[in-house]
Copies of this chain bind each other. A is one copy, B any other.
């Protein structure tokens, strides 16, 4: 039995080894484990949680790398399928600190992780896990969307976290993404997204109103990441919390959201108070934002606590 299972995309992040220059001028690249739900599982594993990810790779060397990297980070790969045909996706980015990190997906129309069918799922494991994490991108294509809803139907308790992760390039339209979000929200207990993502999901950008709309849709906890304005959350019991952003020198903002996610899983599973959870998750995100790497930079619990306590790392 797992503390948490995430469901969604994976791939290889081929990231520049030079920062502050565009792809036209980058000279060398490194390769890293990528895909938000996959890296959330990695981030959670760093906190000592028993984690697994439901995803799929292509039958190619990059697929082998992804599977090996997942295992290397201490995440169980038993639910990682290998699918013949489509290539394991690749993602490039540009790193312009402190706040511009454009992403370039090479995922094709039907990447392996969107070909997961309901029959490929271990619904018992999904039902039993303490926390189930899924993202909006997984709802962008069939049969993946049907598989997500089969998983959601199997959930009868525990936390079900909906990462509103909206990537414009992966959808036909924002309206299609909104419809998919609205259909899935009633099955989640937690929803989390940045301002753009909550606007995509519920049509309003104001944090209070967006959180209210997510609660109205059925979640128990609504979390809005407001960038330079910090993080805001509301619960169905009308509890509110807001934390300020941490002052760190941002090197690469990519991956901060996944670090936040893994830390959020820890707070939810431990039953921490809302504000403590937010502060901890916020610090975990800042920890990764201050480093070039993503999956490789995910902090342990004590590293996050040191950062919160002002201990130099």
A270 to chain B, nearest CB (A): 36
**A31→B27 CA distance, assembly (Å):** 6
Please indicate the chain B residues that have their CB under 8 angstroms from the CB of A65 in the complex.
23-25
**A109→B106 CA distance, assembly (Å):** 11
Question: Is A17 an interface residue when CB atoms closer than 8 A count as contact?
Answer: yes
**A109→B26 CA distance, assembly (Å):** 26
- Which listed residue, B24, B28, B87, touches A30 by the CB 8 Å rule? B28
Contact indicator B31/A68 (Cβ below 8 Å): no
Mask: chain A, 180-212; 1 = CB below 8 Å from B; 0 = not? 000000000000000000000000000000000
**A26→B106 CA distance, assembly (Å):** 19
The DSSP consensus for interface residues of chain A is mixed
- Which listed residue, B26, B68, B106, touches A90 by the CB 8 Å rule? B106
Contact indicator B28/A17 (Cβ below 8 Å): yes
Given A14-B29, A28-B17, A30-B28, A22-B106 contact (CB < 8 Å): no
Question: Is A62 an interface residue when CB atoms closer than 8 A count as contact?
Answer: yes
**A202→B68 CA distance, assembly (Å):** 43
Question: Is A108 an interface residue when CB atoms closer than 8 A count as contact?
Answer: yes
Given A90-B90, A109-B109, A62-B27 contact (CB < 8 Å): no
**A31→B23 CA distance, assembly (Å):** 10
Question: Is A104 an interface residue when CB atoms closer than 8 A count as contact?
Answer: yes
- Residue of B with least CB distance to A66: B24
Question: Is A61 an interface residue when CB atoms closer than 8 A count as contact?
Answer: yes
Task: Please report which residues of chain A, range 125-172, place their CB below 8 angstroms from some CB of chain B when the two chains form the complex.
Answer: none
- Which listed residue, B24, B26, B61, touches A23 by the CB 8 Å rule? B61
Q: Jot down 5 A-B pairs with beta carbons below 8 A, ordered by A.
A: A14-B29, A24-B61, A27-B31, A29-B31, A90-B90
